[in-house]
Amino acid sequence: MLREEVLRAGADRSLVGILSKPTPAASERCGVLLLNAGLVHRVGPARLWVQLARRLCERGHAVLRFDFSGVGDSPQGSQVARFEHSAPLETRAAMDALAESAGARRFALIGLCSGAEIAFKTALADPRVCALVLVNPPRFVEEPSAELVAQLERRQAQRYYWSIALRNPRSWWKALRGRADLGAIGRALLGRLSKSRSSAVLAQRSADLAAIQALCARQVRMHVVLSEGDWAQHHLETILGPGDARARIERTILPACDHLLTPLATQQALLQHVGAWAGDWD
C-alpha cells in the first residue's frame, strides 16, 4: 500500500514535489529522490519517474520526485545562480524535507541526463547519500576537455559505422548511389583499427576520476545505466580507464534505445533493474 501527497521543500517551501509514502511507514529504509531530467518536470520522460516512484514505494522506500526551481510547479528562485550550483543545494533541501516527513536518514538519488550530473555532485557534498543511479550522465564534475570530446566523437562515429551502418543494406545502397560520405566512413573504420591515445592518460588528469574514487572510498553504491552507443558510455569508459574504480561501479547497457529511454521495453527494463538494486541500498 502507498499514499501520495504534495511535499514542499526549501527554506521558503518553494520547491514542489510528490511524496510516495509506503503504509505502514518504513523509516529504516533509505529515502529516494528522483531528479528532473533537463526541463522535464517531476513525472519524468514518458511518466517514467511516476512508475519508478510507485515501484520503489511498494518495496518500502519513501520516494520524492520534485521540481527544481524554474521547472514544473516550482517557481524560479529570487537568487540568480548557475543551475549546476543551485540544483545540488535544492536537492539537499529536498533530502531535508524527506527526512522530516518520512524519517529517512540515508538517501538514494536517481537522475537521468543532467539529473544524473546533479545527483553525482550532491553525493560528493552530502554524506547522507548512500546510493546513486545515474542514467546517461552527460558529465560528472567537470566539462570534458576538447581532446576528450574529440576522442568521444571519433569513438561514437566508429561504433555507428562499424556496428550499425555496415550491417544495414540501406547504408550500402546509399553508398552505391554516391550519397554517403565515403571519406568519413573510411576514417572511422581506420580509426577503429588503429590505436588511439591511451584512455588512462586522459583519466589521470580527470577530476571526474578523483571524484568517483572519493565516492567509492565512502562506499557509495553506484549504478550507471547507459543507452548503447550513447555519449555517456564512451565518456565513462574513458574516465575510468583500467583502474579499480571500473570494477566498483555496476553498469548496465540498454540496447536499441535513445537517450531518454523512449521504447516501452527499455523503460520496463530500467524499472526492473532499479527495483532489484534497491534491495542492496539498506
DSSP string for 190-217:
HHHHSPPSPHHHHHHT-HHHHHHHHHHH
CA torsion sign for 124, 125, 129, 130 is positive
Interior angle at CA 115, CA 121 and CA 79, nearest 5: 75
pLDDT tens-digit readout, 54-105: 999 999 999 999 999 999 999 987 666 788 889 999 999 999 999 999 999 9
Tell me what pLDDT residue 122 has.
98
Mean confidence (pLDDT) of the chain: 83
- Find out whether 20 and 2 touch, Cβ atoms under 8 Å: yes
Residue with the bigger pLDDT between 165 and 205: it is 205
Tell me what pLDDT residue 249 has.
87
pLDDT tens-digit readout, 199-244: 445 555 678 888 999 999 999 999 999 988 777 777 787 777 666 6
Quick one: cell of 160?
555507428
Radius of gyration of the chain (CA): 20
Tell me what pLDDT residue 179 has.
58
Tell me what pLDDT residue 257 has.
86
Tell me what pLDDT residue 103 has.
92
Cα distance from N-terminal residue to C-terminal residue, the chain: 20
Q: Where are the beta strands (DSSP E) in the chain?
A: 2-9, 15-22, 31-34, 63-66, 107-112, 129-135, 221-227, 250-254
Q: Would you say residue 116 has pLDDT above 70?
A: yes
Q: Would you say residue 171 has pLDDT above 60?
A: no
pLDDT tens-digit readout, 129-147: 999 999 999 889 887 767 7
- Find out whether 109 and 122 touch, Cβ atoms under 8 Å: yes
Cα(168)–Cα(69) distance, integer angstroms = 45
Widest CA span in the chain: 66
- Residue 208, CA distances (Å) to 146, 244, 262 in order: 15, 14, 28
Tell me what pLDDT residue 160 has.
55
Q: Would you say residue 164 has pLDDT above 70?
A: no
CB atoms within 10 A of CB 276: 10
- Residue 56, CA distances (Å) to 93, 110, 118, 256, 281 in order: 21, 12, 21, 25, 12
pLDDT tens-digit readout, 19-37: 999 987 776 789 999 999 9
DSSP 166-179: GG-HHHHHHHHTT-
Instruction: State the virtual CA torsion across 273, 279, 280, 282 in degrees, nearest 10.
Output: 140
- For range 172-185, the mean pLDDT: 54
What one-letter code names the amino acid at 9?
A: A
Tell me what pLDDT residue 170 has.
60
- Find out whether 42 and 4 touch, Cβ atoms under 8 Å: no
- Find out whether 259 and 48 touch, Cβ atoms under 8 Å: no
